A and B are shown apart, each in its own frame.
Chain A
Amino acid sequence: MVLTVLIALATIMAVFGVIGYLRGTTAGLMTTALIWGGLILAGLYSVQIARIVNGMNLAVRFLLAGGQTSGLGAIQPLIPSNSPGVTLLVMLGGSLLFSLLLSSLKSFRGRPSLLGLVLGLLNGYAVTGALVYGLAPDLAFLPMPFGFSNTTAEAALAAPAGLPGSDLWTRIPDTITNLAESPSCPVIIAITIAAFVFIAVRTGNRGKKG
């Protein structure tokens, strides 16, 4: 399993490295700040972040229920208490999403650069480390700063079982297996491929004419 983590580490670092190189230094610095900032916050203030996210969830449910308080007590928290692994994953997802949105802005676009590559590799390491801590804490052997000690990893070990809707993860393989065995599977995949090729080629041609 250690080998699996190392292969995943190399792959994710390679992907982030190439993306960092292509996007340039400015976008790389912004992404690094967001990802590492998110990790620092998750490491230092995981309890407070979980409380904020759960509070926001409760507030949204309250609004959706039209201000009725009945039944609010039965709502399961989105992030179980004492689950720094889940908090870390939430922060990582938020950071990646935010950096993706920001990097689409013109001011963050730049020329390919070597510093961007280095920053991308650094981000790839952070993302892999955080994913391993969050998803498989027993395999979290990658050194991580900012409070992600062994105790953090041990506490996160129980996290996936407490996640609301965790049975979803057991249903996904069954759904995929059923889909693969269905006679409509090749038709669906073939249509998807053909649609993708059509959209890609027609969009490219339209750009050429314009």
Chain B
Amino acid sequence: MGPVEIVFIAVWVIFGVVGIVRGYRLELGVTTMLLIALFVLEFLSDRFSAQLNRLLTTQWQSIISSGFLVILTFVSYEGETLAFPGKGDNPAFSLLAGLLNGYLFAGSLWYYLSRANWLGLPIDMANATSLYQILDRLLPPAIFSWPYLILLAVVMLIMRVWK
């Protein structure tokens, strides 16, 4: 069971490194997109759960959520970037912004993949380590309901346009 959480921690750390390289102004744009994506997913699962459950199994819902998150993250990093205002690159802010994105992306992916039974991979959930159990409770979708996510996204957009 060990490598599962270690893999996600490694992804999280790599996002931090990517943050240092790209700079916090670009990273905060990705943060905004991730918050909006999570808001959409959480809002749909909260308000339209009955309809979604009729259409899809829980596993398929989680797989689609993971796919949506991966595609949106890829587009946010690769496509037109919602850069925040400011001058210069503060490495500490860049690292923190990268880690925040890593938490939102890797944490949410962990959440949805674990709900999809890890896509059938032979992972023994019964013998989960205490680290896994602790981190599992701190994942973004486990903590934030959609009102928090939309509120944070609005705060991000206000910061984006605030002169």
Tell yes or no: B79 within 8 A of A by CB.
no
Q: Is the CB–CB distance between B6 and A204 below 8 Å?
A: no
Tell yes or no: B122 within 8 A of A by CB.
no
Q: Once bound together, how far apart are the Cα atoms of A11 and B16, in whole Å?
A: 11
Q: Once bound together, how far apart are the Cα atoms of A15 and B10, in whole Å?
A: 10
Given contacts A7-B10, A14-B17, contact A197 B156 (CB under 8 A): yes
Tell yes or no: A166 within 8 A of B by CB.
no
List the A residue with the shortest CB-CB distance to B92. A200
Q: Which of A10, A15, A193, A205 contacts B152 (CB 8 A)?
A: A193
Chain A positions within 8 Å of B10 at CB level: 7-8, 10-11
Interface on B for A, CB 8 Å cutoff?
2-3, 6-7, 9-10, 13-14, 16-17, 20-21, 24-25, 28, 31, 84-88, 90-91, 93, 96-97, 100, 130, 133-134, 137-138, 142-145, 148, 151-152, 155-156, 159-160, 162-163
A70 to chain B, nearest CB (A): 41
Chain A positions within 8 Å of B138 at CB level: 176, 180
5 examples of A-B residue contacts, CB within 8 angstroms: A11-B14, A196-B100, A200-B28, A204-B88, A204-B93
Q: Which of A1, A185, A204 contacts B25 (CB 8 A)?
A: A204
* CB within 8 Å: A-B pair count: 106
Tell yes or no: A167 within 8 A of B by CB.
no
A: contact size bracket: 20 to 34
- Interface core residue of B6, B100, B142 (most chain A CB under 10 Å): B6
Q: Is the CB–CB distance between A4 and B2 below 8 Å?
A: yes
A29 to chain B, nearest CB (A): 19
Q: 10 closest Cβ contacts across the A-B interface? A: A204-B86, A180-B137, A208-B87, A11-B10, A200-B93, A201-B159, A207-B87, A4-B2, A18-B17, A194-B155
Chain B positions within 8 Å of A201 at CB level: 28, 84-86, 159-160, 162
